[in-house]
Amino acid sequence: MKFIQGQNRNQIHLVPVSLDEGIDPDNEVRIIDLFIESLSIKDYGFRTVFPENGRPAYHPADLLRLFIYGYLNKIRSSRDLEKECKRNIEVMWLLMCLKPDHNTIANFRRDNPKAIKKVFRATVQIAKHFDLIGGKLIAGDSTKLRAQNSKKNNFNQAKIDRHIAYIDNKLEEYNRALSEHDGDDTEQVQEEIKKQQNRKDQYRGIEKLLRESGETQISISDPDSRQIMLRNNITEVCYNVQTTVDAKNNIPIDFKVTNHNDSRAMGNMVQRAKSILGTNDLTALYDKGYHTGSELKTAQELGIETIVAIPDIPATSQAASGYCRASFRNDQTTVGLQLRSYKAGDKPCLL
C-alpha cells in the first residue's frame, strides 16, 4: 500500500525559503503586526526609555505583539508563550525570532495593565471605524473567575470574632487545667496556651488590616478577591468580570474586573458604554441579577434604555398569592390608579 511520503530531513535546498514566505498572506499575525505598527506605544503608557547600562531590554511593542497573539490563540501562560517563541513559526515571524523568557513576559503583563487596557480600547475604535459595531443594542453579563484564595483565608468581622471567641474558650480551659493540676503535663499545657495566644495575635492583626482597609471582608492570599454569592446560597472567593458586547457582530467593547456581585454593576457599565460608543441612543440588555432600582435609575439619568429581566418571587416572600407587585401593571386610562392583575379571572381593584 502506498502512502504520502514526507521530505528527507537531511535534504539541502538550493534556494532557501525565507521566514516571510512561510507565512500566508492572510495570516492573522500580519494583522497583529500592522495593528501594533499603527500605535504610538509611548502615548499608551508603555515604557520605552531604559538605561544604557546592562543588557538591552525588549521593546514593549514586541512583547505586546506576543501578548495579543497569545490572547487570540488562548495561550495565557507565560511559560507556554516562551515555548511558542522557540517552536511556532508564526510567533517567530511576529517577533523576528526574538525569544523572551517567561519572567520577562510575566513582568510585562504585570507592569502594564492600564496601557494594555488602552490598547483594547483602540481595537474597539478600529471596529467602529470599519462599521463593525452597531452601537444600538448592547448586552452585559458577568463571569466569575475563582481566585487563588480559599474560603479559609477570607475573613470578615463576624468570622474573626468567632475565631477569637473559640480561642478565648480554649485559653480559659487551659488556664483552668493549669490551676487544677500540678503534674507532668504542665509544660504541655503551657505550650498549648502559647500556641493559642499566637493564633489570637494573628487574628487581631487580620482584624487591624480589615479595619484599615475600610472593606467588609479581606483575603489573605489574593488581597483583591472577595467572597461573592454565585447562586442560591453558594459562595466562592473570586473575581467578577463584567463584559459588554455589541449586538451587530457580537464584538466585546468593554470589560471590567470587579470584586462585587452583579446587583451594583449595571450603572457603571452602561456609563462606560456611553463613553466608548459616544452616544446614549442605545438599548442595554441585562439578566435578572442586575435588577436593582438604583442601577436602573442611573441608566435612566444617562438617557439609556434598559431591558432587565424581573427576578422571580423568592420562596420566602410574605406576599399573598396573586397579590404581589409582580402580578400587577399600571393603567392610567381611568381616573385614579387602577391596578389590573395579569391573572385571568382577577377583578381590577381601584385605589
Q: What are phi and psi of 2, to 5 degrees?
A: -90, 145
Please tell me the predicted confidence (pLDDT) of residue 325.
Answer: 60
Residue 248: CA count within 13 A, CB half-sphere: 11
CA distances for 292 relative to 218, 286, 289, angstroms: 25, 11, 8
- pLDDT-based confidence at residue 283 (cuts at 50, 70, 90): very high
- Listed in sequence order, the residues at least 6 apart from 179 whose beta carbon sits closer than 8 Å to its beta carbon are none
Cell representation of residue 231: 447562586
Task: Provide mean pLDDT across the span 307-323.
Answer: 70
Q: In sequence order, which ranges of 53-185 are alpha helices (DSSP H)?
A: 60-72, 78-87, 89-95, 102-111, 113-129, 157-180
**3-state secondary structure labels for all residues of 255-275:** EEEECCCHHHCHHHHHHHHHH
d(CA 35, CA 123): 9
Band (pLDDT 50/70/90 cuts) for residue 190 is: confident
Euclidean distance between CA atoms 292 and 3, whole angstroms: 66
Cα pseudo-dihedral 119, 121, 123, 126, rounded to 10: -130
Contact 69, 91 (CB under 8 A): yes
What mean pLDDT is reported for the chain?
86
Give me the helix-helix angle, 78-87 and 102-111, nearest 10°.
Answer: 130
Which three three-digit cell numbers place residue 226? 472577595
Residue 10 has pLDDT above 90, yes or no: no
Beta strand extents in the chain (DSSP E only): 137-146, 154-156, 217-219, 226-231, 234-246, 251-258, 283-286, 305-308, 328-331, 338-341, 349-350
Confidence of residue 229 (pLDDT cuts 50, 70, 90): confident
In this structure, of 77-91, 180-194, 314-328, the range with the lowest mean pLDDT score is: 314-328
pLDDT reported for residue 180? 74
Taking the CA of residue 40 as centre, how many other CA atoms within 13 Å lie in the half-sphere pointing to its CB?
A: 3
State pLDDT tens for residues 150-169: 899 999 999 999 999 999 99
- Predicted local distance difference test score (pLDDT) of residue 9: 79
**CA 31 – CA 306 distance, rounded (Å):** 36
Span 62-107, pLDDT tens digits: 999 999 999 999 998 999 999 999 999 999 999 999 999 999 999 9
* Rounded CA separation 295/270 (Å): 10
> Angle at the Cα of 50 (from 46 to 52), degrees rounded to 5?
165
Q: Please tell me whether residue 49 adopts helix, strand or coil conformation.
A: coil
What is the pLDDT averaged over residues 108-123? 92
User: Which 3 state secondary structure label does DSSP give 207?
Assistant: helix
Q: Under a CB-based contact definition with an 8 Å cutoff, are residues 139 and 284 in contact?
A: yes
pLDDT of residue 322: 58
